[in-house]
């Protein structure tokens, strides 16, 4: 199927919640009114000076924005000679990842709508932690759905959520990962739609969620654009980000999308191989279909059944992707590639040892990809590159130690 057309960033989504052919609302009738209410409330909040002032004040004093744009010269030399790599340091945001930007925005929106019960899904746990953090600050009830598999590999974040007052509900169905956590959160929302606000963590789901998440996360790219112009006097040649559901990447890409000379590269999880069930490279190896309320690229078999996924990083272990990324792919505005588990581990170790920064496994995929791209001689001399370091690696240390066959002393 071919949906290729000229990319027009400021026109999307349209009034139907579509990015070209992608997006829309594929949900039970019982949720249509709730989505309409959410869209109306969000449109009002966007033009409400009081809401925007509170959001900006909390982004500054609570989240710690703006985050820094940090040059990494030793890592740059590892990639290729005569280039510059900058990291957008979302790992320095409160709670250690970009997820807090969206959680804060939606939390304030829920409060504005009078919804005191918040539900969320989480994979790596960072969105769960961010949601629990915002709910504690705003005095809201918080329930987080998390796959049993992810609970096992992200036990530290589970404890953080509970310490912040959230109830963590283990999901034991299906692959027991992010996809199944979303399924359970949607079931909860259908049952308690009058009192509950579903705080979606990535740029996925039915309209208006992909747009809302993109808008709250676009602070990343907007800051980056201003910062790189101040530091270098020009825009970057390449902007790189990891892609699972796609919130950190779309937040970085969107403010650069109107500049055709800026190359946008999304790096998906290549897992152990690109064989079905062994990766989570949706845009690289998937095809369009409907999942979790939207039409987008999916990993599915010939019968349309969703495939199991694998990634060393829980935050990228998802068989779908946000509809705007599908649109960016089909229009050719962005390029999507994959990096396998070994590549991610290499990227993580390289940044640790060259720059004293421990990244999360999710952006480590983008770091590893850059190293491979440099080795292939595909980065021209003089290139200016910005990579979104979407989170810090504390949560992943047990996983990394196990993968590197390191035994930690009790």
Q: Which of 25, 88, 121, 313 is catalytic?
A: 121
Residue 186 contacts residue 28 (beta carbons within 8 Å): no
Q: Which of 329, 330, 390, 395 is catalytic?
A: 390
Q: Which of 99, 111, 179, 395 is catalytic?
A: 99
Assign 3-class secondary structure to the chain: CCCCCCCCHHHCCCCCCEECCEECCCCCHHHHHHHHHHHHHHHHHHCCHHHHHHHHHHHHHHHCCCCCEEECHHHHHHHCCCCEEEEEEHHHCCCCECHHHHHHHHHHHHHHHCCCEEEEEECCCHHHHHHHHHHHHHCCEEEEEEEHHHHHHCHHHHHHHHHCCCEEEEECCCCCCHHHHHHHHHHHHHHCCCCEEECCCCCCCCCCHHHHHHHHHCHHHHHHHHHHHHHHCCCCCEEEEECCCCHHHHHHHHHHCCCCCCEEEEEEEEECCCCCCCCECHHHHCEEEEECCEEEEECECCCCCECCCCCCCHHHCCCECCHHHHHHHHHCCEEEEEEEHHHHHHHHHHHHHHHCCCECHHHHHHHHHHHHHHHCCCCCCCCEEEEEECEECHHHHHHHHHHCCCCCCC
CA atoms within 13 A on the CB side of 124: 34
Q: Is 5 a catalytic residue?
A: no
Residue 161 contacts residue 134 (beta carbons within 8 Å): no
Instruction: List, in order, residues 6 or more apart from 4 with CB less than 8 Å away.
Output: 330, 331, 332
Q: Is 329 a catalytic residue?
A: no
Adjacent-strand bridge partners of 143: 119, 167
Q: Is 202 a catalytic residue?
A: no
Cα angle 142, 67, 248; round to 5: 60
Question: 274: how many CB neighbours lie within 10 A of its CB?
Answer: 13
Catalytic residue numbers read 99, 121, 390
């Amino acid at each position: 199927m071919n949906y290729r057309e000229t990319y027009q960033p400021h026109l999307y989504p349209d009034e139907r919640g579509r990015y070209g052919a992608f997006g829309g609302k594929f949900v039970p009738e019982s949720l249509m009114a709730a989505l309409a209410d959410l869209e109306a409330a969000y449109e009002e909040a966007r033009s409400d000076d009081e809401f925007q002032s509170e959001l900006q004040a909390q982004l500054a004093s609570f989240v710690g924005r703006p985050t820094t744009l940090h040059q990494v010269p030793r890592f740059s030399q590892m990639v290729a000679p005569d280039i510059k790599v900058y990291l957008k340091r979302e790992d320095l945001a409160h709670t250690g990842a970009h997820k807090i930007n969206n959680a804060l925005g939606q939390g304030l929106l829920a409060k504005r709508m009078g919804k005191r019960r918040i539900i969320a899904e989480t994979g790596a746990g960072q969105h769960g932690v961010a949601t629990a953090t915002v709910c504690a600050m705003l005095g809201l009830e918080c329930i987080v759905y998390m796959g049993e598999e992810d609970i096992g590999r992200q036990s530290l974040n589970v404890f953080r959520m509970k310490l912040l007052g959230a109830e963590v509900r283990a999901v034991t169905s299906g692959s027991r990962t992010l996809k199944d956590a979303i399924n359970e959160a949607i079931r909860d929302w259908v049952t308690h739609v009058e009192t509950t606000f579903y705080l979606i963590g990535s740029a996925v789901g039915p309209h208006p969620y992909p747009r809302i998440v993109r808008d709250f996360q676009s602070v990343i790219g907007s800051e980056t654009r201003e910062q790189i112009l101040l530091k270098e006097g020009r825009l970057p040649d390449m902007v790189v980000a990891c892609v699972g559901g796609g919130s950190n990447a779309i937040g970085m890409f969107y403010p650069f999308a109107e500049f055709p000379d800026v190359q946008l590269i999304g790096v998906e999880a290549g897992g152990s191989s690109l064989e079905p069930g062994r990766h989570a490279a949706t845009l690289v190896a998937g095809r369009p279909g409907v999942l979790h309320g939207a039409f987008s690229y999916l990993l599915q078999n010939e019968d349309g059944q969703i495939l199991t996924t694998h990634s060393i990083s829980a935050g990228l272990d998802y068989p779908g992707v946000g509809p705007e990324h599908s649109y960016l792919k089909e229009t050719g505005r962005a390029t999507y590639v994959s990096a396998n588990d070994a590549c991610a581990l290499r990227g993580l170790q390289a940044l640790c040892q060259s720059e004293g920064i421990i990244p999360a496994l999710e952006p480590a995929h983008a770091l590893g990809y850059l190293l491979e791209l440099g080795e292939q001689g595909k980065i021209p001399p003089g290139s200016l590159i910005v990579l979104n370091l979407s989170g810090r690696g504390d949560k992943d240390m047990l996983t990394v130690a196990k993968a590197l066959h390191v035994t930690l002393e009790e």
